[in-house]
Each structure stands twice: as structure tokens, then as C-alpha cells.
Chain A
Amino acid sequence: MLNMWLMIFIMFMFGNMIFVSKHKHLLIVLMSLEFIVLSIFFSLMLYLSMIENSMFMLMVFLVFSVCEGALGLSILVSMIRTHGNDYFQSFNLI
């Protein structure tokens, strides 16, 4: 069971790394976010399987994550409609 947690941890970390580092296409960022969501889904399933009568929480989480994915894709579509591409290299902290 423990190596499941290790795998989840690795998935989560790599999803974060890709989210942080790949800033050329917005689609990559959104896909990394989905990957992170997937790892959290898996970890949530592993966790909730140990608690009786509470697997329904997973379904709630799934609904919310799908909404989030849909919102992200709609932002991508509107950005493509305004800018013509999905490059977003101009992010500065200031």
C-alpha cells in the first residue's frame, strides 16, 4: 500500500513541476492541472477506502474537478479567440 502513496506523491510533484515550468502553451498548463487532479483523485480514493460509508465524497470531488477542467478549457478558447494563439509568455510578478 505504501508504494501507492509514493506513486501518488511522484505524480503530484511532477504535475506541479510541469505546471510551473512549461509556460509556452496554455494547453500544457491545463493538462498538468488535470494530471494533478488525477493524482489527488487517486489519493482520495485510497484514503476514503479506509473509512466506511464515505466513498461518495469521491464523486463530489470528480464533479468539481470536471467543472474546473471545463472552465479552464473555456478560458483557453476565449484566449485563442482574442489573441489568436495560446502563448502566454508575458507573465511577470510586477
Chain B
Amino acid sequence: MNKFSLCYISFFFLFFFMLINFFMSIYFIMNQMVMFLEWEIISLNSMNLVMSILLDSISLMFMMFVFLISSSVIMYSKSYMGSELNLNRFIILVLLFVFSMILLIISPNIISIILGWDGLGLVSYCLVIYYQNMKSYNAGMLTVLSNRVGDVMILMVIAWMMNYGSWNYIFYVDFMSNDWSMKIISFMIILAAMTKSAQIPFSSWLPAAMAAPTPVSALVHSSTLVTAGVYLLIRFNNLLMDTLFIKMLMLLSGLTMFMAGICANYEYDLKKIIALSTLSQLGLMMSILSMGYCELAYFHLLTHAMFKALLFMCAGKLIHLMNDNQDIRLMGGLSLYIPLTSLCLNISNLALCGIPFLAGFYSKDLILEVVSMSNLNILVFNLYYISTGLTMFYTIRLLMYLMVNDYNLLSIYNLFEEDYIMLKSMFILLFMSLISGSFLSWMIFSYPYMIYLPFNLKMMVIYVSLLGLLMGNLVSNTNIYSLNKFFLFYKLSSFLTLMWFMPMLSTFGLNYYFLKFGQKLLKNIDMGWSELYSGQGMFKIIKYYSLINYIYQMNNFKIYLYSFVLWMMIYIFMILLM
């Protein structure tokens, strides 16, 4: 039977769309054009049902990146999921996801945003539960229910936007920003973005969603799903500028950045480290957006998408090579054995840290310089810089475990990395993660940022990075005589590694108390009072009284007849007397 796979066709289509969007975005930037397409579906007396598409340079650039990453991921999954029976189903799910994301990107009204948003949540659930085991089911449930909170928020935004006459929020964001309804809408939009981008109260789903297949993680959890929240906030930026809620977002996203950086240092699962690194960079994007610099957030979104997708793909290749093993303590010395994969891994990790002139440097360094130039308190400043140091810390720790220390798996190894389908898709993203930083910084910014800093503040980035490098070197010492100090500070260590116990809120806190209450109800009411008044109690009463009734009725036949004769006698006697 000829197994027809959709991989090549979808790869070529997506790559073609990427090229179209690339040239259109450059054209739109150069001519400063915005195109707004409208399709009037139906028009009754005063109601127009119009489907609109907003083609902006922002949306076209973002679409180009989404198409690029998804085409690479589909090509990659041809080899990664090659032994999957239902590969076409997987590809169709990925294409549905890309379609929902595109719908979200190009929509100027809140109704098609919710179509894209709900589509993203639903399709990411289907993709997370793709391997149908218990862990994937739990992870999928956590993912979809966290995302569902955001969906409810956007539904309420739709309800509140009915005050304004149309659902095209594009027209109202800078005009009506002092209106009370708009303040409520801004709160809900921020909350929706926080659930989608896994900020602090809702951050438990992102490490759990690593139960998905790695191509799904590369597409969804690195670049598209989690950046949908950031994109929504970029679109609503003029509305959110000076509200109270954006200051709340600054604190929460700074804390997310910090917490994820700490957690990634305690993790030994490769995909969880990368997930927490994504969470940390998302916190960075959200916090720079909450300070008002939405172009910088967008810039970091795009560059981060490149190297994070590449990092996930390298992780997937490593997992395949290590015989489906994800623990970094069992990997080591890989730079000697698999040079091309470790090339991609190294470049993406160094781009993540912000090493000069790779992709991450342009966005991250600019963000940190702008932060130093702006008016902040010491808490937020510390959160930014210490998180940058922590990024370096977990990256160097990861690289030490993967590359420098000895190979730990088995004595016999066969690391076959010449799988050119996977490698070619990784090379596309490698090329982009090298040049996209500089390319985007020339395209997006029409004038450079004015940065004027004292020497030590400028070197602060290098100081914290070197400090992180030193710490990463020290921590990843796997000699047999080096002590693991985890158990000396057990409470502190478990607090830091379990994401500050916040997943307990979403899992334990929502399940345990309700189930316990249900148990109390069961014991007291279902098996207690309700049995007394309706079930067994009624049975007992009926049995008892029917027994009494039986005793009353258990007469001698003689007595019954006696009473009959007695009455007859009395009756006839009365007749005789009258």
C-alpha cells in the first residue's frame, strides 16, 4: 500500500507562503503601507457582518516567521515521527494549528481573534495528548484548562465590546482608552495573555505540556502558542499603556522570568529545561512590553522563536539518538560524536544567552540597555539582570552536561546523526537564528534607540553573564567525590525546583479540596441523613408499621364472623322492636 504522506506538499506550500509573506512584508515596511481587506458577508438593515483582514508589516513579518518555523517543523517531523502510523493525522493537526495562528495574527476584530485563540487552545490540546498515555492526558488537561481561562476572558471582552458598536478593536484602542469599559477590557485582555503565555499564576501548564511530541513543542511551545498572548498585548498596546494592570503585569512577568530561571537550574529533563527557558524568555517579553516598549517585545518574540524552535529540534534529535531518553545525566560528550547536531545546539544556546552578534544579542541586549535607561525601582532592575545571569547559568549547565562531561548512557553507542531530513530542517532555522537578529533590527526599527549609559551599567550584562558562566561550571561538576547540596537545604530546594509550589494551585488546589468536600458530603449526606429520611429509613418505617398493621389484621376468623352476627342481631332486634 502506497503510504502517501502530506509532509512534502505541506512543506512546499508553507515555504512558498513564507516567501510571499517575506517579500510583502519588506514591501509594506518600505512603503509604510497598511492593507485592510473587508468581506461583507451579510448586510441586514443596520447590521453588517463583515470579515476583515489586517495586513500590517507586523502581521506579515510574524506570519513569515510562523510559516518558516512550521515548514521546518513539518519537514523535521517527517523523519522524527517517521514510524508513526497516522502521520497524516499529525500533519493535519499541525496545519490546523498554523491556520488558527494565522487567523489570530491577521484579525483586527475580537471575533476572529477568538476563533484563532480557541483554535490554538483546542489544537494544542489535541497535539499534547497525541501520545495517548496517562501522563499526556494529564498534561493535556492541564494545558487546555489553563488556556480555557483565557478563552473565557476573551469571551467577556466580546461582551464588553458590544458597548462600542463593532468588534474591530483596532479602531478603538487609542481613541477610547479612558473609558471605563475599556479599562475592564484591558484587564481581561491582560489576564487572557497571561494564561496563554504562562505567566505566574498560570505557569504550570508549560513544563507539563512537554509530554507532547518534540516537533509539537518546537512549533507550539516555543514560538507560536505562547507568543499569541504577547502578540495580543502588542495589538492592544495603546489601550494598556498607563493602566494599573500593566504594572501588575510587570511584577508578575518579572517574577516569572526569575522563577523559571531558577527552576531550570534544578531540572534534569532536557525538554523541561528548554520549557522553563521558554518561560523565562516569555517573562522577559511580557515585562518589556509592560514597560511600554512593544516593538522591543515584538523583536524579541521573533528572534526567540527562531533559536528556541531550533533548540527544541536539536533536543528532539538528541532524544532520538539516546534511544528516547530525556535525562541529561545520561548524555555527555556529544560534541565529539555528533558534531552537526551539537553545532546547532551550541549556536541556539548561545543565541539564547545573548552572545554578541547572534540572533539573541540584538534583542536581548537592546532590551537590557533600554531597561537601564528607564525609570525603574530596584526590584524590577534586579529581576531583569539576575534573570539574564540565570539564563547563562542554566545554559552553561546544560552545555556542560551535554557536551563537556563524559558520555553516560551505555558502553556501546551508535549515534547516527546523518539523518539529513532532520538536519536540513535544522539548518534552515540555524541560518535564520544567525542572521535574523541583525536582519530584523535593520528592518523593524526606523530609527535607533538612544542609549547613554555609564560604563559599569553597560558592562552589567557581561558581569552577570560571566557570573552565570562561572556558576554553571561549578554546578555541573559530576565527579564522584563532589557533594550534591540539594538535601542540606531540602525545603528551600524543593520550593525552588517545584516552581514555587504554584502548580499545586492549578492541580492540587482545584482537585483536593473539592474532592475532600465531596467525600464529606458523601459520608454525611449520601450515606447519612439522606439514608435516614429517604432510603433505608423509609424502608424501616414502612416495614415496622406494616408489621403493626399485620398484627392488627391478624384476627381470628371467628371474631370477624362474630362481629358480623352481632350486627345482624342488633339490626333485626331493632326492626322487631319498632
Contact = CB atoms under 8 A, between A and B. Distances in A.
Asked whether A and B interact, the reply is: yes
Interface of A: 5, 9, 13, 16-17, 19-21, 23, 91-94
Contacts of A94: 550, 553-554
A17 B558 CA distance: 10
Contact of B554 (A13, A19, A92): A92
Contact of B561 (A5, A9, A20, A92): A20
Given A19-B565, A20-B562, A23-B558, 16 more contacts: A5-B576, A9-B576, A13-B569, A16-B569, A17-B565, A20-B561, A20-B565, A23-B557, A91-B557, A92-B556, A92-B557, A93-B553, A93-B554, A93-B557, A94-B550, A94-B553
Most buried by B among A20, A23, A91: A20
A92 B564 CA distance: 16
B572 A16 contact: no
B557 A16 contact: no
Interface SS of chain B: helix
Contact-residue size bin, chain B (C-beta under 8 Å from the other chain): 10 to 19
Interface in B553-578: 553-558, 560-562, 564-565, 568-569, 572, 576
B565 to A, nearest CB: 5
A92 B569 CA distance: 24
11 contacts: A5-B576, A9-B576, A16-B569, A19-B565, A20-B562, A20-B565, A91-B556, A92-B554, A93-B553, A93-B554, A93-B557
Nearest to A90: B557
Contacts of A19: 561, 565
A16 B556 CA distance: 16
Most buried by B among A19, A93, A94: A93
Q: List the 7 closest A-B pairs by CB distance, nearest first.
A: A91-B557, A20-B561, A16-B565, A20-B562, A20-B565, A23-B558, A94-B553
A91 B554 CA distance: 10
Contact of B558 (A5, A13, A21): A21
A15 B568 CA distance: 13
Nearest to B565: A16
A88 to B, nearest CB: 10
B554 A20 contact: no
A13 B568 CA distance: 9
B260 to A, nearest CB: 81
Nearest to B568: A16
B564 A20 contact: yes
A86 B440 CA distance: 118
Interface string B119-160: 000000000000000000000000000000000000000000
Contacts of B562: 20-21
A20 B558 contact: yes
A32 B70 CA distance: 109
A18 to B, nearest CB: 10
A93 B569 contact: no
Contacts of B554: 92-94
Nearest to A91: B557
Contacts of B560: 93
